[in-house]
């Protein structure tokens, strides 16, 4: 994990060996054996992340644990050695499909730990809650996440989970399954699906037009300060479920009505123009509508997680492991490194602030105006700091002085 506390690029996406007396090849060979070892299962590798998640919930969560679910495609089109990759969508989108579940603080939106991951390959899928067993590919994303939600609800977190999913989860059939399992959920609704409102059935967008909005907070939207307005009402989901029609035509499925809250969040310009709108559906009752809107805004943290895994951090799509299982194992090790960075970013007090400032200096990164650090910069600074410590531990002062003199001979 320590060897992944760094920011990499496509030309050097392998693990980095610390500058001790061992060769870099020894570290590379050790990693290959580690990921190849049958005794190193996904379940075992995931245990430290679950422990970190439970500990973080106790420290950072007040009443709920926000659990964000999302998907990211891993493109390995040019990696000929990966024989279990598959065509995800169009012909240039070839690789694996990754489903991740990331928990956040309900107070700050701070990411705490990924608590589940599922990697889909051509042969099947690997999930952290299934060991290294290759299971059949699930029919669609929402079936995947429904299975994941069921497993997470059995983990015994100290506070109730609120499962947050983007607009893809606007599926009344799956929502009925979550309701039957007494799960708390928050999804983004599409404009056209109908709901029952004050005795009439109408599209969600039409319901939104009938609501009274309150000015809540000033937010940063695409780099500009804009006001957020929020409204809410009770609705009922009474429509039939429509299963996926991709493989064959299937009949609609009626079900029990679901009582829910429709929370509408709007970003308005100074002229009153609607710049953006989110139609949010949830069964969480004892929370203010403005907080529900904020929870969904924090959903973006999982996109930042994917960004940290890819080009902004570990360059996941350049990894040379040859199987989906090896990629899944290394993902868990990298996730541990992400948790370390998030803890450093969230820590309070003068010592933590001094550490962040020091790491940014070591990283050599320039920050945007008003921003004191970024997670990729913390990663880069951590690697320099760890390397410094390793050098001081492994090389005596006289040897370092000799190396310095040798290096100075090359300066003009």
Position 61 scores a pLDDT of 95
pLDDT higher than threshold 90 for residue 252: no
User: Has residue 245 got a pLDDT over 60?
Assistant: no
Segment of 43-47, 131-135, 270-274 carrying the highest mean pLDDT: 43-47
Q: What are the C-alpha distances in Å from 8 to residues 4, 23, 211, 319? A: 9, 19, 49, 11
Higher-confidence position of 385 and 20: 385
The pLDDT-based confidence of 221 (bands split at 50, 70, 90) is confident
> What is each CA distance from 321 to 1, 201, 313, in whole angstroms?
16, 53, 18
Q: Is residue 21 pLDDT above 60, yes or no?
A: no
**Model pLDDT, residue 22:** 63
Task: Tell me the pLDDT tens digit for each residue of 157-197.
Answer: 999 999 999 998 889 999 999 999 999 999 999 999 899 99
Question: Residue 26 CB: number of other CB atoms within 10 A?
Answer: 11
* Both structure tokens of 267: 């970003």
C-alpha 265/C-alpha 68 separation (Å) is 19
HEC string of 64-118 equals CEEEEEEEEEEECCCCCCCCCCEECCCCCCEEEEEEEEEEEECCCCCEEEEEEEE
Question: Percent of the chain having pLDDT more than 70?
Answer: 92
| Distance in angstroms (rounded) separating the CA atoms of residues 81 and 7 | 24
**Backbone φ and ψ of 239, nearest 5°:** -70, 160
CB 229 within 8 A of CB 211: no
Question: Residues 6 or more apart from 302 whose CB is under 8 A from it?
Answer: 68, 69, 70, 100, 102, 111
CA distance 50 to 404: 44
* CA R_g for the chain: 24
Helix or strand (DSSP H, E) at 24: helix 24-36
- Per-residue pLDDT of 58-106, as tens digits, reads 999 999 999 999 999 999 999 999 999 999 887 788 999 999 999 999 9
202/197 Cα distance (integer angstroms): 7
- pLDDT over threshold 90, residue 359: yes
pLDDT score of 56 more than 90: yes
378, pLDDT greater than 70? yes
Mean pLDDT of the region 227-231? 94
Look at phi and psi of residue 282 and say left if phi exceeds 0, alpha if psi is from -120 to 50, else beta. beta
Whole-structure pTM value: 0.90
Range in 127-141, 260-274, 306-320 with the lowest mean pLDDT: 127-141
Provide the 3-class DSSP secondary structure of residue 300.
Answer: coil
| Top-confidence range, 17-26, 127-136, 328-337 | 328-337
One DSSP character per residue, 134-169 reads: -BPPPSSHHHHHHHHHHHHTTS--SS-EEEEE-GGG
**DSSP secondary structure code for residue 195 in this structure:** E
What's the mean pLDDT in 203-216?
94
Structure tokens at 290: 């403005």
Q: How many CB atoms lie within 10 A of CB 179?
A: 19
Provide mean pLDDT across the span 217-244: 88
- What digits encode the pLDDT tens for the residues 302-341? 999 999 999 878 889 998 889 999 999 999 999 999 999 9
260 DSSP β-pair partners: 235
């Amino acid at each position: 994990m320590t060897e992944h506390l760094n920011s990499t690029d496509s030309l050097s996406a392998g693990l980095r060996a610390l500058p001790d007396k061992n060769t870099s090849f020894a570290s590379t060979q050790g990693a290959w054996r580690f990921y190849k070892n049958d005794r190193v299962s996904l379940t075992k590798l995931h245990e430290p992340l679950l422990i970190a998640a439970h500990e973080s919930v106790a420290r950072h969560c007040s009443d709920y644990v926000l659990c964000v679910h999302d998907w990211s495609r891993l493109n390995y089109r040019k990696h000929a050695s990966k024989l279990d990759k598959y065509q995800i969508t169009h012909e240039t989108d070839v690789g694996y499909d990754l489903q991740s579940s990331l928990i956040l603080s309900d107070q700050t939106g701070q990411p705490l730990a990924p608590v589940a991951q599922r990697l889909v390959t051509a042969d099947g899928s690997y999930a952290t809650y299934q060991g290294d067993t290759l299971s059949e590919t699930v029919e669609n994303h929402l079936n995947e996440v429904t299975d994941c939600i069921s497993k997470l609800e059995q983990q015994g977190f100290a506070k109730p989970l609120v499962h947050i999913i983007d607009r893809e989860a606007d599926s009344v059939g799956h929502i009925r399954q979550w309701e039957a399992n007494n799960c708390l959920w928050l999804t983004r609704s599409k404009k056209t699906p109908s709901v029952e409102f004050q005795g009439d059935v109408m599209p969600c967008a039409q319901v939104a037009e009938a609501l009274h909005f309150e000015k809540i907070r000033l937010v940063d939207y695409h780099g500009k300060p804009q006001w957020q307005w929020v409204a809410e009402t009770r609705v009922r989901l009474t429509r039939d479920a429509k299963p996926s029609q991709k493989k064959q035509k299937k009949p609609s499925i009626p079900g029990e009505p679901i009582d829910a809250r429709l929370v509408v969040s709007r970003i308005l310009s100074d002229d009153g123009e609607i710049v953006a709108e989110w139609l949010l559906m949830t069964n969480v009752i004892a929370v203010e509508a403005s907080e529900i809107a904020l929870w969904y805004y924090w959903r973006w943290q999982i996109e930042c997680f994917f960004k940290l895994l890819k080009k902004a951090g570990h360059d996941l799509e350049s990894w040379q492991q040859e199987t989906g299982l090896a990629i899944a194992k290394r993902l868990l090790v990298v996730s541990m490194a992400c948790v370390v960075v998030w803890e450093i970013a969230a820590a309070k007090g003068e010592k933590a602030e001094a550490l962040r400032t020091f790491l940014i200096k070591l990283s050599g990164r320039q920050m945007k105006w008003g921003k004191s650090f970024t997670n990729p910069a913390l990663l880069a600074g951590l690697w320099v700091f760890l390397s410094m410590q390793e050098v001081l531990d492994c090389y005596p002062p006289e040897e370092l002085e000799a190396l310095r003199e040798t290096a100075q001979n090359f300066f003009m």
